Chain A
């Protein structure tokens, strides 16, 4: 009897896991979108930089970062596994292509998902890899890191020049707490002079550099459209897989899904558009 064979992951449990990880990603997406809106705040990027500093240093955030990547990878791996298993269930296909009227979201999900992997790779290259020091970007550093350094330390003229130039260009936060928008070369020079200074990626500056190029903006808009297609299926689908589908309430879930999809996509899209047109 196959009664006691629950160790083998059943098809429904696989789907439950996919939905669970997907749901976490959905919540993260909303959070990410809200955080991005700081870029549009009219304060020269102080709020966003403060937020990035918090996200880059807080221990709980770091734990969540690992959980997030775990979810992302497991969501993708389980889905591809299920997709591959499902493909084998119809060895001989139909001659006539299916004419059943269904929503396209589910059939597209595997394609939009694969596209998202590519989009994410570019997105990481643009932003996240700067944090991991894989690629060069713009950097910021706390002013106090220069103050607390050893006073006997000799500071090279080159470093002094970089520092003075940055101050003169107004590349500081309003409260003079941060020195911002430093190029990779400037960062290296300053880092040599002040070995203890903690440099962080300046995502505000990076965003402004990237989003001032029209084709990057366009790529990101396409990216958000694909995200929209994917979560349009995902939102409702997660509810269905968790068994939360009811004759009475599923209509509300459907509407909520559409609203969520639009809010997230427009929320994401408004940032590159806003930066590009300097709104």
Chain B
């Protein structure tokens, strides 16, 4: 298969970027999207054409959340429930023009080419996406009885790999699905109850500060999430937020 690629090239965070057009040929239809970019980079290096195209990737099996490209108007490309590394070239037609852009959001500045700085997500997690427990021996399984239904829902929310596709897809660059998933999976388990009110308050405030938008219920995030996190998690986040609004305002060491 042959493709014409229009790739966003940007020297560094401060430089002005532009689209560069490359042609790749003889690509196997079984190639993943990132493998196709590898082939392009190999060509760029061997033929001394340009610096290789920078893009994030790690596990290449859809579980790490590192990869993420905005391909032809869709985060992670034209397939549902997959990350960019799981997107295969058979999803395209021979001779297609493919536009490849980095995630666009104020909170996700471009570092180089297609690589963006997603540490804003880490900062949200640091604000409250944890439970405070003293580490020690591994507790026995099922010491705390959790109904299967809740365990399943918590697991579904915990599937979020933090790739940022929700922010990239959202017209407001909102991180509500991400924060929703991170709040929900802890809110549904007994371990998460103790810090529940503090958690949602800290995480949402941090989210607002970092320059993410607010949710206007378009659900583009749900449509593009590679882990198919549901909008119900945003509703749960809203619910948790309402709960903490009425829960009073304890300082950390004050009961």
> Which A residues form the contact surface with B (CB < 8 A)?
2-6, 8, 10-16, 82, 85-86, 88-103, 106-107, 109, 233, 236-237, 240-247, 250
Q: Which of A85, A101, A233, A246 contacts B214 (CB 8 A)?
A: A85
CB distance from B63 to the nearest CB of A (A): 23
Which residue on chain A has the smallest CB distance to residue B217?
Answer: A237
CB distance from A11 to the nearest CB of B (A): 4
With a cutoff of 8 Å between Cβ atoms, the chain A residues found around residue B198 in the complex are 3
Q: Contact check, A91 vs B242: say whether CB atoms are below 8 A apart.
A: no
Q: Contact check, A100 vs B220: say whether CB atoms are below 8 A apart.
A: yes
Q: Contact check, A86 vs B205: say whether CB atoms are below 8 A apart.
A: no
With a cutoff of 8 Å between Cβ atoms, the chain B residues found around residue A247 in the complex are 153, 230, 232
CB distance from A95 to the nearest CB of B (A): 6
Interface centre among B6, B101, B209, B238 (most CB of A within 10 A): B238
With a cutoff of 8 Å between Cβ atoms, the chain A residues found around residue B242 in the complex are 16, 242-243
Q: Which of A93, A96, A106 contacts B216 (CB 8 A)?
A: A106
Whether A4 contacts B19 in the complex (CB less than 8 A), given A16-B238, A94-B104, A106-B218, comes out as no
Q: Contact check, B216 vs A89: say whether CB atoms are below 8 A apart.
A: no
With a cutoff of 8 Å between Cβ atoms, the chain A residues found around residue B106 in the complex are 88-91
With a cutoff of 8 Å between Cβ atoms, the chain A residues found around residue B172 in the complex are 86, 89-90
Interface contacts beyond A4-B251, A100-B224, A236-B217: sample of 7 additional A-B pairs, CB < 8 Å, sorted by A: A2-B205, A3-B201, A89-B213, A98-B220, A100-B169, A243-B237, A247-B230
With a cutoff of 8 Å between Cβ atoms, the chain B residues found around residue A6 in the complex are 201, 245, 249
Interface centre among A12, A86, A101, A242 (most CB of B within 10 A): A12
State A103–B72 Cα separation when bound (angstroms).
Answer: 19
Whether A94 contacts B238 in the complex (CB less than 8 A), given A4-B251, A103-B218, comes out as no
When each residue 45-64 of chain B gets 1 if its CB lies under 8 Å from chain A and 0 otherwise, what string results? 00000000000000000000
Whether A12 contacts B241 in the complex (CB less than 8 A), given A2-B202, A102-B220, comes out as yes
B105 at the interface (CB under 8 A from A): yes
B173 at the interface (CB under 8 A from A): yes
B234 at the interface (CB under 8 A from A): yes
Q: Which of B73, B204, B218 contacts A99 (CB 8 A)?
A: B73
Q: Contact check, B104 vs A106: say whether CB atoms are below 8 A apart.
A: no
Q: Contact check, B218 vs A107: say whether CB atoms are below 8 A apart.
A: yes
With a cutoff of 8 Å between Cβ atoms, the chain B residues found around residue A106 in the complex are 216-219
Q: Which of B173, B204, B252 contacts A10 (CB 8 A)?
A: B204
CB distance from A76 to the nearest CB of B (A): 15
State A115–B232 Cα separation when bound (angstroms).
Answer: 30
Which residue on chain A has the smallest CB distance to residue B233?
Answer: A245
With a cutoff of 8 Å between Cβ atoms, the chain A residues found around residue B211 in the complex are 89
Q: Contact check, B107 vs A89: say whether CB atoms are below 8 A apart.
A: yes
Interface centre among B19, B74, B78, B215 (most CB of A within 10 A): B215
Q: Contact check, A240 vs B220: say whether CB atoms are below 8 A apart.
A: no
State A236–B218 Cα separation when bound (angstroms).
Answer: 11
Which residue on chain B has the smallest CB distance to residue A92?
Answer: B104
With a cutoff of 8 Å between Cβ atoms, the chain A residues found around residue B232 in the complex are 245-247, 250
